[in-house]
């Protein structure tokens, strides 16, 4: 069933012209005071930048990656990266405008990303990494079918391209979802 939240969404691959708007969106969703309007903020864990134009441009240009850009009424309101990594796809760089968080938009976007990864690359799994302290965010992904693996990697301390840690116990946990079965569209979207 289509809701008012996703009735006017347009999904497309990002271009170089989108880089600045995407950096601003990602930063607003995770860092600084603007991120506190939504529930995905990392402002208490990390300060500084979440990404930069070079990092976003690298995803846009990569032949194995797509930066899915979501627009409503001609304005970018969300994005996510899907990257082909052999038997699975990686999901990252997920951001929804803080003013629109909590209205179901994230569910729609992740479902579309999974569908595209499955249909485009024929992968059987989607992987992602989440800061292990983000219990609320991990629980949200678990409700979408992702499972915790217990496999962690260290946070890149000392590399300010990923932010300035406010704690010394940050690490990423791998979450995995099986992408089996036929592709199914839950909502009508423009491609």
The stretches in the chain having pLDDT less than 70 are: 1-7, 30-50, 159-167, 181-191
Please give the pLDDT value at position 72.
Answer: 93
Q: For the chain, give percent helix, strand, coil, nearest 5.
A: 30, 30, 35
Please give the pLDDT value at position 170.
Answer: 84
Any idea what DSSP says for residue 131? E
C-alpha count within 13 angstroms, C-beta hemisphere, residue 178: 3
Please give the pLDDT value at position 76.
Answer: 95
DSSP structure string for 144-186: TT-EEEEEEEE--TT-GGG-EESSS--EEEEEEEE--S----S
What is the value of pTM for the model shown? 0.82
Please give the pLDDT value at position 6.
Answer: 47
């Amino acid at each position: 069933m289509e809701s008012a939240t996703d009735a006017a969404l347009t999904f497309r691959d990002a271009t170089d012209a989108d880089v600045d708007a995407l950096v601003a969106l990602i930063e607003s969703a995770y860092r600084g005071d603007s991120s506190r309007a939504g529930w995905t903020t990392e402002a208490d864990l990390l300060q500084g930048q979440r990404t930069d134009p070079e990092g976003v441009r690298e995803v846009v240009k990569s032949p194995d990656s797509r930066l899915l850009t979501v627009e409503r009424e001609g304005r970018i309101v969300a994005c996510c990266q899907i990257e082909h990594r052999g038997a699975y796809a990686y999901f990252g760089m997920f951001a929804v405008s803080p003013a629109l968080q909590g209205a179901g938009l994230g569910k729609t976007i992740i479902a579309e990303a999974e569908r595209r990864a499955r249909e485009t690359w024929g992968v059987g799994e989607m992987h992602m990494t989440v800061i292990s302290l983000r219990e609320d965010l991990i629980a949200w992904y678990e409700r979408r079918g992702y499972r915790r693996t217990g496999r962690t990697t260290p946070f890149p301390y000392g590399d300010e391209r990923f932010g300035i840690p406010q704690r010394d116990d940050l690490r990423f946990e791998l979450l995995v979802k099986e992408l089996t079965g036929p592709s199914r569209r839950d909502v009508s979207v423009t491609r």
